[in-house]
Structure 1
């Protein structure tokens, strides 16, 4: 039995051939030929069984044979906003694992104590797409570019649960798992700070704009560990 091959194809229904990078992999690595089966993921819930209709040196044309229904496996949207670490390898690990677990969006924050002020969104996108295919998910998480902390908070006007994780003992904190188990149909947003944590003023500013002060537990976690743990907690609370 041949191994199933999965490809990320935005607008898979209206397109007829694989995107250039996916076609290169299909033709040069997998050596697909006419009649071979493949599965397409459009990143917006679409999941399709298709067949190779035609190949050239650079193009792989397909025909959709079946639309496969894939229901969401969690309720509400899960949005992680995080200050990226100085070592981008740790952020790349985070987005890969969080995508495999399942979440809807990631935003990157430029905070007072951030050691990294920029990142390559295209690189993050590629890692997420690879993880989407590996974990066979119909939805691709949205990747937002880095944004100043205060601007991000000011832009958070939509309804839903809003939480900020921090380590300040002077500010009372709620248990994030308990909070994630409330209003399960609502979207949930959780903020995780840089390696030096959010500043005291940043936490206060977020709280003044409707964010709940929360804790992930007694252990002091690395930034990427805290981010992944927050996604896992959200998933466990909202799993269908």
Structure 2
């Protein structure tokens, strides 16, 4: 069944009008017709079953038949703050896979050793949207604009906070330390890793140092490993 992302849908209304772009895709590309059944997700937990009432290529009218709220709601909250990589396609890959596996929020942090200082959030959000449609997720992960590292780690966060780095020192393991059904924030540094000063600043702001294994991982791989571990803990 075809799936559409409809963040502006009102669950109390019996009908919904697809945008002109989505209507064209629905009728001209997918070749759906009146009576065809489709599914809608609002990105806030709602999964809607609907049928096409009017198959106009510029304004498809959908009849809402049923609604499931909090569809596949997760029992934990995962926020990963990651330094955007020089090759932005690697971050795009991470966003796609993390969304498919399960993630709630992503922040882009600019560190001392960051080779990329910005990223086009609009384009990255489209990749996330595509991934939730592909994997049938009713919740759309939040993607935050890039922020300076020092400002980010000073922000309040209610939950367990971790920093993954490659420097020597005492470290714990996310799978061992994290409490199930909890809220987690994990910092993932740039290709050159966090600087010693950044690590110290994180520890002073309540973050715990963690290891993600013996191998030295790429930025996007480390972030995805953290995503795997958090989801495995809460499976």
Assess same fold via TM > 0.5: yes
Q: Is the contact made by 1:84 and 1:91 (CA closer than 8 Å) also made in structure 2? A: yes
CA distance in 2, matches of 1:205, 1:19: 47
Task: Give the counterpart of 1:204 among 193, 196, 200.
Answer: 200
Q: Which secondary structure does the structure 2 equivalent of 1:39 belong to?
A: strand
Alignment match, 1:11: 8
Alignment match, 2:159: 160
Whether 1:223 aligns to 2:219 is yes
| Displacement of 1:232 | 0.7
Q: Is the contact made by 1:10 and 1:42 (CA closer than 8 Å) also made in structure 2? A: yes
Q: Is the contact made by 1:177 and 1:216 (CA closer than 8 Å) also made in structure 2? A: no
**Which structure 2 residues correspond to residues 188-203 of structure 1 after superposition, within 5 A?**
188-203=184-199
Q: Is the contact made by 1:9 and 1:19 (CA closer than 8 Å) also made in structure 2? A: no
CA distance in 2, matches of 1:121, 1:129: 12
CA distance in 2, matches of 1:204, 1:19: 49
CA distance in 2, matches of 1:19, 1:230: 37
**Which structure 2 residues correspond to residues 82-161 of structure 1 after superposition, within 5 A?**
82-155=82-155, 157-161=156-160
Q: Which secondary structure does the structure 2 equivalent of 1:7 belong to?
A: strand
Superposition CA RMSD, Å: 1.4
Q: Unmatched 5+ residue regions in structure 1?
A: none
CA distance in 1, matches of 2:72, 2:205: 30
Structure 1 segments of 4+ aligned residues over 4 angstroms from their partners? none
Alignment match, 1:66: 66
Q: Is the contact made by 2:39 and 2:47 (CA closer than 8 Å) also made in structure 1? A: yes
Alignment match, 1:45: 45
TM-score where L is the length of structure 2 = 0.94
| Displacement of 1:27 | 2.1
| Displacement of 1:238 | 1.3
CA distance in 2, matches of 1:163, 1:72: 26
Whether 1:172 aligns to 2:170 is yes
Q: Which secondary structure does the structure 1 equivalent of 2:7 belong to?
A: coil
Q: Unmatched 5+ residue regions in structure 2?
A: none
CA distance in 2, matches of 1:117, 1:139: 28
Alignment match, 1:22: 22
